[in-house]
């Protein structure tokens, strides 16, 4: 009889632990890509988090039947429903975040929710659909049934001794202490139901101590005044700046779908004056760093102090006696972006706040409003004495990729919806160009078409753009159209050559300044020297370093660093438990499937890492990943 009771006891324990074991197995299946890279200590962390999950579950199943007897059916059922809902919600958030961005939630995400509450709510609204609610409800119902079934079985079977309960509580307490101690540094090595409560608790603790990162907000600008006068140019300049527009999804760049019919025709109509650059790269995959760097020419890797002092595009326009304007679909109350862009302000500007428009894609408005307002303003400049220098900044390609029925040519996955937004972008571009042509301004306007960064669709386990620097997020379109008279007066040989080499968004402002006659102005040499970009009309070293980061003194992200040099793309990824490095051949491996990093020498590895050492924030990230890294190196990267 004693042996039978013992067997029943063992069977009872296994039944109780079936659920946490199932969760661990599912977690392993979902996060296998990350777990393959775990070190021995990271596996220890993961194992202890599983022990903690099992301990809590074991105690719940043992305690709930007694709770039923003491508090009654209604309170018991409500408690079981709340516990089930919480567990399913934690698993959904953890796995959903991992599937979307390759990582479990971390302190940065909580900081984002706190600092960008409105943005977080809008993204949640745009991301959650009916099937998410169905999964949550069905999952909660199944777990309620499971818990009830286990509680009934346990109440009629083996009853544990108090020593067993105390031993489980003691084991769970030890696992809790370990998890709490190491959750910040080894956060990806925990099951989601342990990780998320731990990280929330740690964030609250840090908040009480006052050691959480400060809210993300671009610092006030203290811009240098351009005192040198620049002769007024005879041309206008229009920059059409897009959001999250990835190069290889444009048919202009070879995509099989006809996503850019107008731009295809435009390029074919002017083969000697339309230049599309095949290897253009963003310098950051977050708008908060990318757009200010485009408008100032100061790279995201450079100190913020240089960016807040650097003249904006509008200041250059004023020095050249040009009219400036900035029309955008973005919400300029976002993290100080508006204050940055409008200090000092362009001569004319418009954003959704002017008409209290609703958000349409993330926090931006419907681009039709922006394009209409920009068209009206361009029409008003038809007979203006001064030429203009303007920016139309769209938001068409941002998640959740919603468009009007007119543009819905493809359906199914997010990438299909994204292609529809590119078709819409093409229409907006056509309308702007046709307005210039209709008002007689096209043949005296240089036009640049660009994007702040690209967009990912699970090519490497990430979605959107912020969480990685793989090719899909850093490759962008960049096109230049020249008026006939302007083209005839310029040496275009370097512009043509540069179509085949690596260029960057930091080249946009120097190119504009070259168009208006400011790039070679000797008194402006100091301003020019601060910029890391080059004019596309000039000879560019095909092996120069293009540096990419989402981290500076304002943006404390842990995404990592990236560089493009010649035919090679290097990445340091720091969002996981341990730093990971990648190296891809741009020409031979455009999809970035064959990581060359393990095959190169230590000297070459040092060369790639040391590129970031002249820049304080990037250097600190690199040295944190590799404490013994020094600046000395005798080898050049491949």
How crowded is the C-beta side of 32, counted as CA atoms within 13 Å? Answer: 4
Sign of the CA dihedral 315, 318, 322, 328? positive
| Confidence at 169, pLDDT banded by 50, 70, 90 | confident
* 168-172, 399-403, 485-489: least confident range: 168-172
CB 375 within 8 A of CB 433: no
Q: Residue 67, Cβ neighbours under 10 Å: how many?
A: 15
What pLDDT shows up at residue 368? 95
| Confidence at 1, pLDDT banded by 50, 70, 90 | very low
- Sequence-ordered list of residues with C-beta below 8 angstroms from that of 390, at least 6 positions apart, any chain: 236, 237, 238, 239, 323, 324, 325, 326, 327, 346, 374, 377, 378
What pLDDT shows up at residue 522? 83
What pLDDT shows up at residue 185? 62
At which residue do the structure tokens 């609703």 appear? 358
Whole-prediction pTM? 0.86
CA dist 51 and 53 (Å) reads: 5
Q: What is the pLDDT of residues 341-360, one digit of tens each?
A: 999 999 999 998 888 888 88
Sign of the CA dihedral 43, 48, 52, 55? positive
Q: What is the pLDDT of residues 448-498, one digit of tens each?
A: 999 999 999 988 888 888 888 999 999 999 999 999 999 999 999 999 999
Q: What is the pLDDT of residues 571-628, one digit of tens each?
A: 999 876 678 999 999 999 999 999 999 999 999 999 999 999 999 999 999 999 998 8
Domains of the chain, each with CATH number or no CATH: 2-209 (no CATH), 236-483+504-535 (3.40.720.10), 567-625 (no CATH)
Which percentage of the chain shows pLDDT scores above 70?
A: 93
* 32-36, 374-378, 449-453: least confident range: 32-36
Tell me which of 108 and 206 has the higher pLDDT. 206
Instruction: Evaluate if residue 157 carries a pLDDT over 70.
Output: no
Nearest alpha carbon to residue 550 among 468, 452, 609, 461:
468
Q: CA gyration radius for the chain?
A: 28
CB 170 within 8 A of CB 179: no
What pLDDT shows up at residue 156? 54
């Amino acid at each position: 009889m004693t042996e039978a009771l013992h067997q029943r006891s063992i069977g009872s324990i296994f039944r109780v632990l079936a659920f946490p074991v199932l969760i661990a197995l599912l977690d392993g299946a979902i996060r296998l890509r990350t777990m393959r890279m775990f070190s021995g200590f990271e596996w220890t962390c993961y194992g202890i988090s599983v022990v903690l999950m099992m301990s809590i579950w074991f105690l719940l199943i043992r305690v709930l039947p007694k709770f039923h007897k003491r508090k009654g059916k209604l309170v018991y059922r409500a408690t079981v429903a709340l516990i089930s809902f919480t567990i399913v919600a934690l698993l959904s958030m953890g796995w959903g975040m991992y599937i979307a961005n390759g990582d479990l939630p971390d302190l940065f995400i909580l900081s984002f929710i706190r600092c960008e509450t409105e943005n977080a709510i809008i993204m949640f609204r745009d991301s959650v659909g009916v099937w998410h609610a169905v999964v949550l409800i069905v999952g909660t119902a199944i777990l309620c049934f499971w818990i009830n079934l286990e509680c009934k079985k346990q109440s009629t079977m083996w009853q544990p001794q108090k020593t067993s309960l105390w031993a489980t509580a003691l084991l769970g307490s030890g696992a809790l202490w370990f998890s709490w101690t190491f959750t910040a540094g080894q956060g990806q090595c925990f099951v989601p139901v342990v990780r998320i409560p731990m990280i929330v608790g740690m964030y609250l603790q840090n908040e009480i101590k006052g050691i959480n990162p400060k809210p993300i907000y671009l610092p006030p600008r203290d811009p240098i005044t351009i005192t040198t006068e620049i002769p007024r140019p005879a041309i206008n300049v229009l920059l059409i700046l897009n959001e999250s527009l990835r190069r290889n999804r444009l048919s202009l760049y070879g995509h099989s779908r006809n996503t850019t019919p107008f731009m295809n025709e435009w390029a074919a109509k002017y083969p000697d004056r339309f230049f599309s650059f095949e290897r253009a790269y963003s310098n950051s995959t977050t708008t908060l760093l990318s757009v200010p760097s485009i408008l100032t020419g100061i790279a995201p890797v450079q100190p913020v102090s240089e960016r807040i002092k650097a003249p904006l595009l509008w200041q250059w326009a004023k020095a050249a006696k040009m009219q400036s304007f900035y029309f955008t679909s973005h919400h300029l109350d976002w993290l100080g972006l508006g204050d940055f862009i409008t200090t000092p302000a362009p001569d004319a500007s418009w954003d959704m706040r002017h008409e209290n428009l609703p958000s349409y894609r993330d926090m931006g408005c419907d681009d039709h409003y922006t394009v209409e307002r920009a068209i009206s303003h361009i029409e008003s400049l038809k007979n203006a004495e001064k030429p203009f220098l303007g920016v139309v900044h769209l938001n068409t390609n941002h998640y959740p990729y919603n468009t009007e029925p007119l543009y819905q040519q493809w359906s199914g996955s997010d990438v299909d919806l994204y292609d529809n937004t590119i078709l819409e972008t093409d229409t907006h571009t056509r309308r702007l160009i046709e307005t210039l042509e209709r008002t007689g301004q096209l043949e005296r306007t240089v036009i640049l078409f660009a994007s702040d960064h690209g967009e990912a669709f699970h090519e490497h386990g990430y979605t959107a753009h912020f969480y990685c620097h793989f090719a899909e997020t850093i490759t962008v379109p960049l096109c230049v159209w020249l008026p006939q008279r302007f083209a005839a007066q310029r040496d275009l040989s370097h512009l043509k050559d540069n179509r085949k080499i690596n260029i960057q968004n930091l080249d946009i402002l120097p190119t504009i300044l070259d168009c208006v006659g400011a790039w070679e102005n000797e008194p402006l040499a100091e301003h020019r020297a601060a910029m890391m970009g080059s004019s596309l009309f000039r000879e560019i070293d095909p092996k120069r370093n293009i540096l990419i980061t989402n981290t500076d003194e304002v943006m404390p992200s842990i995404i990592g660093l990236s560089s493009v040099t010649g035919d090679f793309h290097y990445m340091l990824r720091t969002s996981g438990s341990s730093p990971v490095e990648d190296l891809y051949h741009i020409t031979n491996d455009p999809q970035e499937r064959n990581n060359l990093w393990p095959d190169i020498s230590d000297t070459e590895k040092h060369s790639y890492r040391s590129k970031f050492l002249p820049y304080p924030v990037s250097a600190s990230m690199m040295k944190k990943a590799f404490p013994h890294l020094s600046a000395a190196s005798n080898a050049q990267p491949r």
